[in-house]
Amino acid sequence: VRRDCGMFDVSHMCVVDLRGERVGERLRRLLANDVAKLAQRGTALYSCMLREHGGVIDDLIVYYMDDRWYRMVVNAGTRDKDLQWLLDQAGPYGVTVEPRTDLAMIAVQGPNARQKAAAVMDRELAERALQLGPFFGLDAGERLVARTGYTGEDGFEIMLPAKAAPFFWQALLEAGVKPCGLGARDTLRLEAGMNLYGQDMDETITPWEAGLGWTVSMDDGRDFIGRAALQAQRDGGVGRAMVGIVMDEKGVLRHGQAVLTENGQGEILSGTFSPTLGKAIAFARIPAGEPGSVRVDIRGREVPVRVVKVPFVREGQAVLA
């Protein structure tokens, strides 16, 4: 994926179609980011969906298909609670919530992904797909081709009828696209500085504490669910921060390990060995403020680590020395 391209079967992700006269209005209430930014059909937005206390129900991507139709892609592990929340919050306003269990989803990612994926599409679709800008989706009848991903590389995420997916997968395979597992995807997303729900944030964590402040639109006075709690937390000072960690010594950083800073103790969230950097990397949540000298407790031994900005890898290259 970093050097050429790979493909992932991500059909476990939950695709939801939301339709109705007031769907845009309700999504402006439901999401911390503002769908009013989506002025052009096919444009996509990354956002958190929050409880009133500011905790993250889920992180998701939403596509503006037309004024009465938005498509949302939510996490598999949160599927049931997400669907119930959407029904509770949008259903009474005439918005239909339809999980698209008839669709599969294949992600093709890497510097050569778009060209190789386009090579197995029909000519007209390929030409249109190759013209897509980042975070744009193309509605092609039964298929939606989106220039999005979860690896830090360029590529497409393609939603298509489940019955057609094996044939499309086989065509990609014959075009030289290598199958990749979800373990590889997890390493790629961590290198790219992307959060994993349930590991890096949950309903006890706000976007401010999860490094996701950039996804919150507070500018226009829009009254979204969780806004008051986020405003109060920001005004009072956010007590915890999510940071990147690199360990130069040999070893692997793992979820739950204690992180010791001069301001107090935090913990490792996601951690892995980075093949691109050749070092262990992690997200950690630590007390806010200048951390000073930082160590991680690995089986009783305090190992020095560096606090760094994320992403760790950009466009296939290590950002760190």
* Total residue length of the chain: 321
Domains defined for the chain, CATH in brackets: 6-190 (3.30.70.1400), 239-321 (2.40.30.110)
Across 216-241, average pLDDT: 95
Give every CB contact of residue 291 below 8 A, 6+ residues apart in sequence.
243, 261, 262, 263, 307
Rounded Cα distance, 51 and 27, in Å = 14
Specify the pLDDT at position 316. 86
Residue reference for tokens 């695709």 = 15
| pLDDT value of residue 320 | 72
Query: What type of residue sits at position 130?
Result: L
How far apart, in Å, are the Cα atoms of 23 and each of 62, 95, 123, 138? 12, 6, 34, 20
Q: Is the separation of the CB atoms in 212 and 201 below 8 Å?
A: yes
User: What local confidence, expressed as pLDDT, does residue 195 receive?
Assistant: 99
- Give 9's strand partners: 106
Q: What is the pLDDT of residue 221?
A: 80
In this structure, what are the phi and psi dihedrals at residue 74, rounded to the nearest 5 degrees? -115, 170
> What is the model's pLDDT at position 261?
98
Tokens of 218: 């507070």
pTM of the predicted model as reported, rounded to 2 decimal places: 0.96
Q: Is the pLDDT confidence value at 309 over 90?
A: yes
Nearest to 196 by CA among 180, 212, 181: 212
| Percentage above 70 pLDDT, the chain | 100
Write down the pLDDT at residue 302. Answer: 97
Report pLDDT digits (tens) over 81-123. Answer: 999 999 999 999 999 999 999 999 999 999 999 999 999 999 9
